[in-house]
Amino acid sequence: MKYEKTLFSIIINNYNYGKFLTEAIESALAQTYPNTEIIVVDDGSTDNSREIIHTYEEKIIPVLKENGGQASAFNAGFKASKGEIICFLDADDYYLPEKATQIVELFEQYPNAGWIFHNLEKVDIKGCPLKIPDKRCINKFEYVDLRDTILHGKLLDYWFPATSGLCFKRDIIKNILPMPEQFLISGDAFLRLATIHLSPGVLSPEKFAIHRSHGNNFYEFKKNIGVDRSKLYIKVAYYLRKRFPEIYNFTDNLLANSLVQLINYTSFKEALQLPEYQAYLEHCPPLISSLNLTMKIIFTYAKIQGKRVLNTTFIRP
């Protein structure tokens, strides 16, 4: 293969997933692409994870740190890496053998792409395939440039995969990492939008990795998933605005939409007291920007409430 000089970094982030970690590491070691490095970041595990990591020390780059959350693990793994291509792997997931080869070739075919996001095969705890709704998948191959969409403040009508489906060129992600370590979980939400703002990329329906669905997955099994997702994207909006102030139209709309969703799930009082919302208001320039953001929130709230009334009106008894 003429591209095999490109160094491909696989960063495995792990916290107390010892029962899955061996399979994740073995899947990284089994890549058919010859020029890979494997960084395993253990984020202060209290199970047998570090014993497992020690058995692979000649084949991997171990990074053992105190517990700081997923974003801190991303930052530590990237700092230890040297690859021109960076791919993340959650320790409870695993890669298919051809992933690195396919990703390197796609980046060669699309040299202006700074990222590739691909589908994940979803399985249960026993490894049995799970059906994924079409709206939770990338349904067609696309080379997309969404930078102007974000600059003009439009929210994105796309579905994006979790951590193990995200691949980046180093030249792009070095402008994002280190990322805010306040993302103890779901740091991939910030990574995806930040990268899309900085570069065109590829959306691939191919399933190059396996995502295991089990009782400890954050979003998979929580009863109050809507509340958690709304709070997450308010936090994403705040830290995106801090890092990339030029996309304030997008972050304003993201915050307004997420805040209204949170109000509907909880209450005005709880939503408006959220620390990231309060910090966002303080980060806005005075008066005009604050008024503009307030109007967006009011408009979004009225729009969503109007849809609810309309849907209720036309429900047959």
143-150: average pLDDT: 98
With contact defined as beta carbons under 8 Å apart, do 20 and 212 qualify? Answer: yes
Residue 251 covered by a domain: yes
What the block records as the tokens of 182 is 């306040």
Question: Which pLDDT belongs to residue 311?
Answer: 37
* Same domain for 118 and 202: yes
Residue 3 covered by a domain: no
| Cα–Cα distance list, 93 to 10, 120, 153, 236, 305 (Å) | 13, 10, 34, 24, 39
Q: Which of 44-53, 66-75, 289-298 comes out lowest in average pLDDT?
A: 289-298
Q: What is the CATH number of the domain that holds 32?
A: 3.90.550.10
Q: Is the pLDDT of residue 173 over 60?
A: yes
* Same domain for 130 and 153: yes
Residue 1 covered by a domain: no
Question: Which pLDDT belongs to residue 213?
Answer: 86
* Same domain for 64 and 213: yes
Question: Which pLDDT belongs to residue 73?
Answer: 98
* Same domain for 197 and 103: yes
Q: Is the pLDDT of residue 165 over 60?
A: yes
Which domain does 250 fall in, by range? 223-313
The proportion of the chain whose per-residue pLDDT surpasses 70, expressed as a percent, equals 87
Residue 2 covered by a domain: no
pLDDT, greater one: 140 or 294: 140
Given 174, 204, 220, the domain boundary residue is: 220
Sorting pLDDT into bands at 50, 70 and 90, what band is 304? Answer: low
Question: Which pLDDT belongs to residue 283?
Answer: 76
* Same domain for 207 and 233: no
Given 183, 202, 220, the domain boundary residue is: 220
Given 220, 243, 271, the domain boundary residue is: 220
Length of the chain: 317
Residue 196 covered by a domain: yes
Instruction: Name the domain count of the chain.
Output: 2
User: For residue range 189-231, what is the model confidence (pLDDT) as tens digits?
Assistant: 999 999 999 999 999 999 999 999 876 654 555 567 889 999 9
Q: Is the pLDDT of residue 184 over 50?
A: yes
Sorting pLDDT into bands at 50, 70 and 90, what band is 287? Answer: very low
* Same domain for 182 and 96: yes
Neighbours of 94 (CB within 10 A): 25
Residue 198 covered by a domain: yes
Neighbours of 259 (CB within 10 A): 27
Neighbours of 96 (CB within 10 A): 17
* Same domain for 228 and 208: no
| Cα–Cα distance list, 126 to 43, 130, 211, 274, 317 (Å) | 25, 11, 12, 39, 42
Q: Is the pLDDT of residue 315 over 60?
A: no
92-102: average pLDDT: 98
Mean pLDDT of the chain: 89
* Same domain for 173 and 295: no
* Same domain for 283 and 197: no
Instruction: Record the pTM.
Output: 0.89
Residue 161 covered by a domain: yes
Token pair 């089990």 is at which residue?
Answer: 214
* Same domain for 193 and 48: yes
* Same domain for 80 and 199: yes
* Same domain for 279 and 133: no
Question: Which pLDDT belongs to residue 36?
Answer: 98
The proportion of the chain whose per-residue pLDDT surpasses 90, expressed as a percent, equals 73
Question: Which pLDDT belongs to residue 214?
Answer: 78
pLDDT, greater one: 274 or 307: 274
Residue 273 covered by a domain: yes
